[in-house]
């Protein structure tokens, strides 16, 4: 052990005046270097391949890139209308409380940049560990560019852990000068949130064929309604006799100026069982929308704000056209217009890239998770209620080819109460790997995400999908179903080669649920009607949700047998016994990943960095 006492120094002694002179010379040199660095050129736009507007007006534009070797994200923030600074950061679900923040502020003469955090009351504090690393700042004709970097994991308890899945970004604009960080009043800021997938997969773009063609499915000059939220539906159709092709790529087509209003878009193919579908161009929730459009549910493409082009693996493509395939497509666009702009016209949509030279494999889409049924329910007032759906070894053994399938993309889905979704691959009772996980999931941000690595699934494997819900704002039970206030737990996995297996999901055995209702009746003073004519939702709605009834329901879902839906595309189950199936037995779980802390640099003082931005406007 090293002796803590200092050893005699053989260095020549320095006078106090000389030490002070050297210190201030070093500080001055540092500030000169800093100012030079801050006035340097902005990196090329190609250095930041991912881009998203933060605010509805597009005054704040965030670009970024991801360095997996360095385990860090590099940010470029364009501030088109700089006033007296801004807050930018991350929090669990987009709250300004308990947030991890990078702050730029000005007292009207001098500007500063610092790493900060907010407490449960929204009060700002300078972080003792400065992990937002400022790289540069520069004024340009279009605004101020601010460049900074942040490690995925900092091992600072006040910092947000950047991980796979959705990240809730928050921003706040300072409209008045402030004399210190602590003087910033978060509640008075003009701010908002934006959801993105920060950690994009580092996937090489496959070579595209020479005979590739494009097709744009776009809205026909729609006038965006002057309301905050609109889902717009537009019907399109393929040419008569359109033969089978493979979709090999798609990308968004967003009308210039509407980048902050077009939130997400999807293209659905309609059911082949109908010869025709009526033309429609209007709000998806309108009473004028033909009911038959509800049979257009097969996803061909899905895009959300911040996503780039989607590429299929070079050995597979998504089939459309030809016999047994509907010519009719439905485009759905979600417009997010919180500032209620009027008269904005839009012709956004999705551009499909396709080829007549078919690839070796047709890609398929398989549903994992829970069946859409009210037997799976969440009591009211729950902050962290878990439901799990199974694709069992019995189903994969029967339905998958001997060589297995390869999952290359995934789209997670719940309704409004969903907070977390995870799908895990298990083999022989041991969890092998995470297929897809979103621990900050939002039902308002759903996209098809390419996986960082292809997941091989073989006959006899199990795919287990777990969803976590929050119903603290609800006064009655939330049951499974199609309604927006009902719930789902789904992972649409994209894979190849396509098989007959289209749906591999489960639900609790109805007979065991009936026993639960009987038990609740016996142990509670209030009578719950068990009459055959009373629906399962009504029985759940009548339960008094005390601790006992909640705990017994949780226990039921964790041990009761399940009803398996091992379905072909025709919605018919594969032959076999699928009722009262035992839950998969998992004997070995995946270990929780321990965040990797970056090497400890020289400690940086918990003090803001001065910036030479000149006098800001008043």
Please identify every residue annotated as catalytic.
231, 413
3-state secondary structure 22-53: HHHHHHHHHHHHHHHHHCCCCCCHHHCCEEEE
DSSP codes, 134-156: EEEEEEETTEEEEEEEEES----
How many angstroms from the chain centroid is the CA of residue 454?
19
- Distance, CA of 279 to CA of 297 (rounded, Å): 16
Distance CA 41, CA 586 (A): 55
Q: Find out whether 434 and 400 touch, Cβ atoms under 8 Å.
A: no
Whether the bond between 405 and the residue before it is cis, its omega within 30 degrees of 0, is no
Pair 365, 359: CB distance under 8 Å: no
CA dihedral of 119, 469, 466, 298, whole degrees rounded to 10: -120
262-270 vs 364-370, strand pairing mode = unpaired
Question: Of the candidates 419, 416, 413, 434, which has an alpha carbon nearest to the alpha carbon of residue 385?
Answer: 419
CB 198 within 8 A of CB 71: no
Cα distances (angstroms) measured from residue 453 to each of 191, 200, 313, 403: 36, 12, 11, 18
Alpha-carbon distance values, 444 to 198, 330, 367, 447 (Å) = 16, 20, 20, 10
| Residue 496 CB neighbour total at 10 angstroms | 22
Beta carbons within 8 Å of 23's beta carbon, 6+ residues apart: none
Q: How many residues are recorded in the chain? A: 618
Handedness of CA 436, 439, 443, 446 (dihedral sign): negative
Distance separating alpha carbons of residues 101 and 75, to the nearest angstrom: 13
């Amino acid at each position: 052990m090293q002796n803590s006492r200092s050893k005699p120094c053989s260095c020549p002694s320095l006078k106090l005046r000389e030490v002070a002179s050297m210190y201030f010379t070093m500080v001055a040199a540092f500030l000169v270097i800093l100012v030079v660095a801050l006035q340097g050129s902005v990196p090329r736009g190609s250095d930041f391949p991912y881009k998203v507007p933060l605010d509805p007006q597009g005054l704040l534009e965030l670009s970024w890139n991801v360095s997996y070797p360095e385990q860090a994200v590099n940010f470029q923030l364009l501030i088109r209308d700089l006033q007296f600074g801004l807050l930018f950061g991350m929090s669990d679900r987009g709250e300004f409380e308990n947030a991890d923040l990078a702050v730029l502020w000005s007292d009207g003469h001098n500007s500063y940049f610092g790493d900060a955090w907010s407490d449960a009351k929204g009060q700002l504090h300078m972080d003792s560990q400065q992990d937002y690393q400022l790289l540069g700042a520069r004024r340009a004709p279009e605004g101020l560019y601010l460049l900074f970097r942040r490690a995925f994991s900092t091992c600072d308890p006040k910092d947000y852990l950047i991980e796979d899945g959705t990240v809730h970004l928050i921003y706040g604009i300072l409209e008045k000068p402030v004399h210190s960080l602590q003087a910033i009043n978060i509640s008075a800021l003009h701010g908002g949130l934006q959801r993105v997938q920060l950690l994009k997969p580092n996937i090489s773009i496959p070579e595209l064929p020479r005979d590739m063609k494009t097709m744009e499915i776009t809205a026909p000059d729609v006038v965006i309604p002057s309301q905050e939220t609109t889902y717009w539906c537009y019907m399109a159709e393929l040419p008569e006799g359109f033969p089978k092709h493979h979709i090999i790529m798609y990308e968004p087509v967003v009308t210039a100026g509407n980048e902050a209003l077009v939130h997400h878009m999807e293209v659905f193919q309609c059911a082949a069982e109908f010869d025709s579908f009526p033309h429609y161009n209007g709000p998806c929730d309108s009473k004028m929308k033909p009911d038959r459009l509800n049979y257009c549910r097969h996803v061909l493409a899905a895009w959300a704000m911040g996503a780039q082009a989607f590429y299929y693996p070079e050995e597979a493509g998504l089939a459309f056209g030809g016999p047994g395939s509907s010519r009719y497509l439905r485009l759905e666009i979600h417009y997010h217009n919180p500032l209620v702009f009027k008269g904005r016209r839009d012709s956004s949509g999705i551009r499909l890239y396709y080829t007549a030279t078919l690839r070796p494999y047709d890609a398929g889409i398989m549903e994992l998770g829970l069946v859409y049924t009210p037997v799976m329910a969440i009591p009211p007032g729950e902050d962290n209620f878990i439901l799990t759906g199974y694709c069992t070894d019995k189903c994969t053994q029967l339905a998958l080819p001997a060589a297995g399938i390869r999952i290359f993309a995934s789209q997670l889905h719940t309704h409004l109460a969903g907070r977390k979704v995870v799908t895990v691959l298990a083999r022989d009772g041991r969890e092998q790997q995470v297929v897809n996980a979103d621990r900050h999931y939002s039902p308002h941000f759903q996209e098809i995400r390419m996986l960082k690595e292809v997941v091989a699934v073989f006959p006899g494997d199990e795919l287990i999908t777990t969803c976590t819900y929050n119903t603290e704002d609800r006064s009655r039970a939330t049951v499974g179903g199609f309604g927006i206030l009902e719930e789902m737990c789904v992972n649409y996995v994209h894979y190849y080669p396509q098989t007959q297996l289209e749906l591999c999901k489960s639900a609790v055995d109805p007979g065991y649920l009936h026993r639960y209702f009987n038990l609740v009746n016996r142990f509670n003073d209030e009578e719950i009607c068990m009459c055959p004519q009373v629906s399962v939702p009504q029985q759940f709605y009548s339960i008094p949700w005390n601790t006992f009834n909640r705990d017994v329901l949780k226990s039921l879902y964790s041990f009761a047998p399940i009803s398996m839906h091992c379905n072909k595309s025709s919605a018919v189950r594969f032959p076999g016994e699928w009722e009262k199936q035992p839950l998969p037995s998992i004997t070995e779980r995946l270990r929780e990943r321990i965040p990797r802390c970056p090497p400890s640099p020289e400690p940086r003082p918990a003090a803001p960095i001065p910036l030479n931005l000149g006098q800001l406007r008043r």
